[in-house]
Amino acid sequence: MKNVIVGQSGGPSPVINSSLAGVYVKAKEMGADIVYGMRHGIEGFLQEKIVDLGTVLTDQAQVELLKKTPAAFLGSCRFKLPDPEKKPEVFEQIFALLNKYEIKAFIYIGGNDSMDTIRKLSDYAVSSGSDIKFVGAPKTIDNDLAETDHTPGFGSAAKFIAAMTKESIRDQVVYQNKTVYILEVMGRNAGWLTAATALSRGEDCTGPDLIYLPEVPFDLSKFREKVAQLLEKKNAITVAVSEGIHDAEGTYICEYASADKAVDAFGHKQMGGTASYLTQYCAAEFGCKVRPIEFSTLQRCCAHISSLTDVNEAFASGSKAVEAALSGQNGLMATLVRESGDPYVCTIGLSDVHYISNVERCVPLEWITDDGSGISDEFIKYARPLIMGENPPIMVNGIPYHLVLK
Amino acid sequence: MKNVIVGQSGGPSPVINSSLAGVYVKAKEMGADIVYGMRHGIEGFLQEKIVDLGTVLTDQAQVELLKKTPAAFLGSCRFKLPDPEKKPEVFEQIFALLNKYEIKAFIYIGGNDSMDTIRKLSDYAVSSGSDIKFVGAPKTIDNDLAETDHTPGFGSAAKFIAAMTKESIRDQVVYQNKTVYILEVMGRNAGWLTAATALSRGEDCTGPDLIYLPEVPFDLSKFREKVAQLLEKKNAITVAVSEGIHDAEGTYICEYASADKAVDAFGHKQMGGTASYLTQYCAAEFGCKVRPIEFSTLQRCCAHISSLTDVNEAFASGSKAVEAALSGQNGLMATLVRESGDPYVCTIGLSDVHYISNVERCVPLEWITDDGSGISDEFIKYARPLIMGENPPIMVNGIPYHLVLK
C-alpha cells in the first residue's frame, strides 16, 4: 500500500482547499492507494480522526467545488508539537499511527507554525530511521513565509481587501461633512495585507489617504498631524492600519486601550482593537465623525471573490508538495518562484523547511514611503498579478455553495 | 424646456445608482431635455451644485457601469428640510432654483427621511400653485419603508450578509476549541438585515445558532443561558445581532458599554458597539474565545455581489418614479408590489408619500420564533427571491471598476 495523508493547520484561507485539491489529484495521479485527510490537523490525527478523501471527492465536479469552498475543509488546529527530546511519546504515537495506516507521504498545508511541525516530524523521521516523507504546502493570507515569493491565500485576501477598500471609499465620499474612516486589516508583524488596501488605487479611486504597517513604528502625534492636515483639504479621510501597529517602544496601539491581551498556544498576543482605539482617539482630537471598519475574519474566508491566480497557485503548490514526498524528498516546503514580473510567470519550487519554520518575512522597508504612512508603486507591481482572475462561486439559492464534510 | 432633476439622499446602497440609471433612461425616453443630478442631495442643490447627467452618461455602456457602481454616484446628504411654515425662505429658494433650471419633475431617491423631503416639497408645490411634480424612488438597505413589499438595496445587502455569514461559519467551524462569534448587522429599529443572516441556512450550512432582532426586547440573562446550552453541544457558536437590540426598558445593549451615544441630524442615536459589548460579556461569562465580526458599512457598498433581482427592481422603480412625475403625478413614491411569491413576480406601483415618510416597517413578530432568538421559514420565503441572480462587476486590474463623477 502506498498511502498519503494530508492535513490543514493554522488560520484558514480562501484557497487552502485548492491546495488540498492539488494534493489529492496529484497523489491519485501518482498511484496513491488511499489519500487520507486528518481532521483538525495534527491535533485531530493524534485523536485518530481521519477521513478517506476518496469517499468525498468522488468526481471532478467535487474537486472543483472544493476549490470554491473557503476555510479548512478538513478542519484546522493551532497545536504546537513539543520538542521530540522532551516528549518523545508524542512522536512515537504519531509514527505508530502513520505506520498503522501505511502512510508513505505526509503533507501539511499551513503557515510558519505549521512548517515547524513539518520540520520536527521530518527530522524525527531521519533520526528514527523511518522512510515516511514529510513535505509542507504553504498557506497563509499573511504572506509572511520565507523562501517563497508569496504565499497561497494572500492573493485572494488581498483581492477582497482591495475590492472592499474601493467599495468603502465610494461609500465614504458621498457626504460633504468631515469623517475619518479607520480600516483595520489583519497582520501582526507583517503588513502585506494592509499594504493591499493600496491596490484599490486607480483612475477611478484614490485609495486610502494613509496606510500604516507594523514594519515601521507608529507615532500617534505624527498621525494626528497627518489627519489634521488632510481634514483641512478633504471631507472623507481613509486610514488603513495593520492590527499589529506598535510604537517605537514596541507597545501595540491596541494595547493603549487595554493592556491585558490574551496569548495563544504559540505565545502570540491576540490582536484586535486598533481601529477601535484610533476611532476614539480621532473623535476626541478632531470632534468629527469617525468610523472603524474591521475586515476581521471576512478577509480569510472570502472565497466568493478569490483570485484565480491564487487558486491555481495553491493547487499547484499542493501538487508539488505531494509529488516531492512521493518522489522520496523530505523536510521541504513547496515555494512560489516568480520567474518574471511582467509578464507575470510563476513556477513552483522547493525549499528546506529549516529556513522557513518560525521565520517571518515582512514588507521590505523600501516599499514603505519615507514618512511611514504610504506604500510605493513597487509593492503594487509585486502584488497586482497575484489578485488577477476570477474563480466565481457556484451560486445556489442566491449565495455560494460549498463542499462540506459531514 | 422639459427638464428633470434627480437626487440621492441618506445612507448609500449597492443599487442606489441603478435607480438613478432608471430615472435617467426613462426621462430621456419620455423626451426630457436635460436630466440634472443634484450633488449631495437637497443640501447640495441649495448650494446650486448640479450636474447635467447627459454629459456623464454618454452611452449605454456608461449606464451599465453606473448600475455596477455602489454608493451614491451624485453624492448624498443627511439634511432635514424645515417646516415650510417656520422657514418659508428655504422653500422659496428651492422653488426659485427649480424654476431657474426649468425643472418639471423632481425625483428623490432615498429612505423614509428622504420621503419626508418629497412630502414637504410636493405639499408646498400644491399650496403655492407650482406645477412642478415631486416623486420619490425608494432606497434603503434597511427594508423599513411602508407601503412597499421590500426596498431596492435590501436584496443586495441581504445577499452580501448571507454570503459572508455562510463563509464566516465555514471559517468558524474549523477548530475543535470553544469559540463564540458575534456578527453585528445594521438595523436600528428594523431587523430585516439581521434576519438575512438566516439566508445562509441550507444543506451545506446550519446558519447562525441565534439571531436577535430589535423587534423583540433582548434579555441578557436568557441570552447567557442559550449560549451556555449551545457551548455544551458544539464548538463554534454563531450569534447574529442587530446593532439596535435593546432591553425591555428600551436601553440599547451598545449603551451598556457607554451611555453617551451621539445623535444625528434626524435625532437618531448613532449605533455600533453591540458586538463589542457582547464579546466582552461572553468572554467574562464563559472564559472562552469570543470574536466580534461587524459587517459595518461593507454591507451597504457591496456592489461586487449585488442581486440582479435587486438591481433590476431598483432600475424599474427609478423609471416608474420619473414616469409618474412627467405624467403629472405628485407626492408619490414608487413601490415594489409582490404579485406572486412562487413563482416570484414583482411589479412597480405608486403610493402616497404621506403614508410613507417617517414611518418604519419592522419584521412581523410572527416571523420571529417564540423565544425571540430565531427566524421562521416565512421570512426565508419572503427574502430568498430578493437575493437571486448576479450582476457581476467589470473587473479591471483584478478589482471592480466604477463610474466616478469627477
| Residue position matching grid coordinates 421590500 | B150
Residue A107 located in a structural domain: yes
Instruction: For residues A159 and A285, state if they share a domain.
Output: yes
Q: Summarize the confidence of residues B229-241 as an average pLDDT.
A: 97
Give the end of a domain, one of A301, A321, A349.
A301
**pLDDT in the model for residue B260:** 52
pLDDT at B204 over 80: yes
Whether residue A167 and residue B301 make contact (CB cut-off 8 A), yes or no, is yes
Our CA-based measurement puts residue A388 at a distance from the nearest CA of chain B, in whole angstroms, of: 4
Whether the CB of B42 is below 8 Å from some CB of chain A: the reply is no
Residue A391 within a domain = no
**What is the Cα–Cα distance from B27 to B2, expressed in whole angstroms?**
10
Cβ pair B175:A294 closer than 8 A: no
User: A160 and A290 in one domain?
Assistant: yes
Q: Which of A301, A319, A346 is the last residue of a domain?
A: A301
Domain count within chain B = 2
Please tell me whether residues A275 and A337 are part of one structural domain. no
Predicted pLDDT of residue B43 = 97
Low-confidence ranges of chain A (pLDDT < 50): none
State whether B124 and B219 are in the same domain: no
- Examine residue B82 and state whether it is found in any structural domain, yes or no: yes
The mean per-residue pLDDT over the stretch B229-254 comes to 96
Clarify whether residues B240 and B168 are in a common domain: yes
179-238 in B: which are within 8 Å (CB) of A? 199-200, 202, 204-205
CA proximity to A217, closest of A62, A371, A32? A371
Question: Is it true that the peptide bond before B343 is cis, omega within 30 degrees of 0?
Answer: yes
User: Cβ separation of A40 and B276 shorter than 8 Å?
Assistant: no
The per-residue pLDDT for range B40-72, each reduced to its tens digit, is 999 999 999 999 999 999 999 999 999 999 999
Q: How far is CA B226 from CA A7, A103, B210, B256, in A?
A: 33, 44, 8, 20
**What integer pLDDT is reported at residue A1 of this predicted model?**
74
Confidence of residue B265 (pLDDT cuts 50, 70, 90): low
Catalytic residue among B83, B116, B131, B142: B142
Domain of residue A235: give its range.
154-301
Amino acid at B63: V
Same domain, B333 and B232: no
What gap in Å lies between CA B394 and CA B397, rounded to an integer? 10
Q: Does A174 touch chain B (CB under 8 A)?
A: yes
Domain harbouring A269, CATH code: 3.40.50.460
Structural domain contains residue B370: no
B349, β-bridge pairs? B335
Residue-wise over A160-177: b if at least 16 C-beta within 10 A, else e?
A: bbbbbbbbbbbbbbbbbe
Q: Same structural domain for residues B7 and B148?
A: yes
Whether A288 is in a domain gets the answer yes
pLDDT digits (tens, 9 = 90+) for B89-141: 999 999 999 999 999 999 999 999 999 999 999 999 999 999 999 999 999 99
CB < 8 Å to B403, chain A: 204
B168 and B272 co-located in one domain? yes
Query: Does residue A292 form part of some domain?
Result: yes
Contacts of A304 in chain B (CB under 8 A): 163, 167, 305
Mutating which of A399, A402, A406 best tests the B interface, going by the most B Cβ atoms within 10 A?
Answer: A399
Among residues of chain B, what percentage have pLDDT more than 70?
Answer: 96
Q: pLDDT over 90 for what percent of chain A?
A: 93
Interface check for B253 against chain A (CB to CB < 8 A): the answer is no
Residue B270 above 90 pLDDT?
Answer: no
The percent of residues in chain B predicted with pLDDT above 90, rounded, is: 93
A5 contacts A107 by C-beta, under 8 angstroms: yes
Q: What is the reported pLDDT for A258?
A: 66
For residue A82, CA distances in Å to A92, A129, A336 come to: 12, 20, 29
Write the DSSP symbol of residue A373. Answer: S
CATH number at residue A97: 3.40.50.450
Which one of B67, B165, B167 would you mutate to disrupt binding with A, by most A Cβ within 10 Å of its Cβ?
A: B167
Domain assignment of residue A206, yes or no: yes
Same-domain check for residues B109 and B210: no
In a domain, A374, yes or no: no
Q: Which of B253, B268, B300 is the last residue of a domain?
A: B300
Q: What 3-state class would DSSP assign to B36?
A: strand
- Please give the pLDDT value at position A270: 54
Claim to verify: residue A325 and residue A231 sit in the same structural domain: no
- Residues A89 and A211 both lie in one domain: no
Tell me whether residues A199 and B397 touch, CB distance under 8 A. Answer: yes
* Average pLDDT for B274-296: 94
**CA distance, residue B85 to nearest chain A CA (Å):** 27
Tell me what the pLDDT averaged over chain B comes to: 95
Per-residue pLDDT at B142 exceeds 80: yes
Cβ–Cβ of A402/B294 closer than 8 Å?
no
Residues B73 and B127 in one domain: yes
